[in-house]
Structure 1
Amino acid sequence: MTEFIKAADLSDIREGKLYPVDIDGEPVCLTKIDGTIYAFSDNCTHISGPLNRGELDGCVITCPLHGARFDITNGKVLRGPARYDLITFPVKIEENSVLVGLPDDE
């Protein structure tokens, strides 16, 4: 079962801007695209580059270290050198809170 944890206030997440958070020791990046909030791992799957320092163009994030590109809506690799998809997390909005779902450690 997925546990949802408060990651931010809704007002913290601005359209097209990257918002890094630490959720239970997990580096996560949040952003809002066309009014929808997305959450994804803040570590590039190539060599853990900090994606919150990358460039966001629409729903595509580019790692600042070696240029790997990912679709933040589904985590798919769009361009290497990364070979593994990005981890994405479910998001729920409750009142003015952004909740991110992290899988249980089982």
Structure 2
Amino acid sequence: MTVERLCSIHDVAPGEARRVDLGDLRIAVVRIGDEWYAIGDTCTHQNISLSEGEVHEDTREIECWKHGSCFSLVTGEPSSLPATKPEPVYELRIDGEDVLVVLP
């Protein structure tokens, strides 16, 4: 298990997502109020960045802007087609003003 800094809490506004690259790993960091989520940033349907899509605060999902697939920020499971495979989700920790991700 490795813990890496992704960004500052000030880098992501509530209701928005931001892409962070850790080497070859692309992660979308999502903030909903005081809750934080991390999900793989590449739509499993096509190679599209999820962080550029809309965050659905009420359902805790992020929508791929290209074809409309929505992914749970909690489980990574898609809730709509055309995506059928889940995205990985990651544990986040807040340490002061730093957003940290726990990697397996």
* Pairwise same-fold verdict (TM > 0.5): yes
Gaps of 5+ in 1: none
Q: Which residue of 2 aligns with 1:57?
A: 56
Name the counterpart of 1:92: 93
1:28 correspondence with 2:27:
yes
Hey, what does 1:37 align to over in structure 2?
Answer: 36
Alpha-carbon deviations, 1:53-104, whole Å to 9, x = none? 111121221111211111112212100111111111110111211101222x
Query: Paired residues, what number?
Result: 102
Percent identity over paired residues: 27
Equivalent position amino acid for 1:7 in 2? L
Structure 1 segments, 4+ long, off by >4 Å, are none
Task: Name the Cα RMSD after superposition.
Answer: 1.2
**What is the CA–CA distance in structure 1 between the aligned matches of 2:35 and 2:3, rounded to whole Å?**
17
Unaligned runs of 5+ in 2: none
2:34 and 2:75 map into 1 onto residues whose CA distance is: 16
Query: Aligned partner of 1:60: which letter?
Result: E
Letter in 1 for 2:41: D
Q: State the alpha-carbon separation in 1 of the partners of residues 12 and 75 from structure 2.
A: 19
Q: Which residue of 2 aligns with 1:13?
A: 12
Q: Give a deviation string over 1:17-69, Cα, whole Å, max 9, x none.
A: 11111123211111111311101111011112111111112122111121111
Find the counterpart in structure 1 of residue 74 from structure 2. Answer: 73
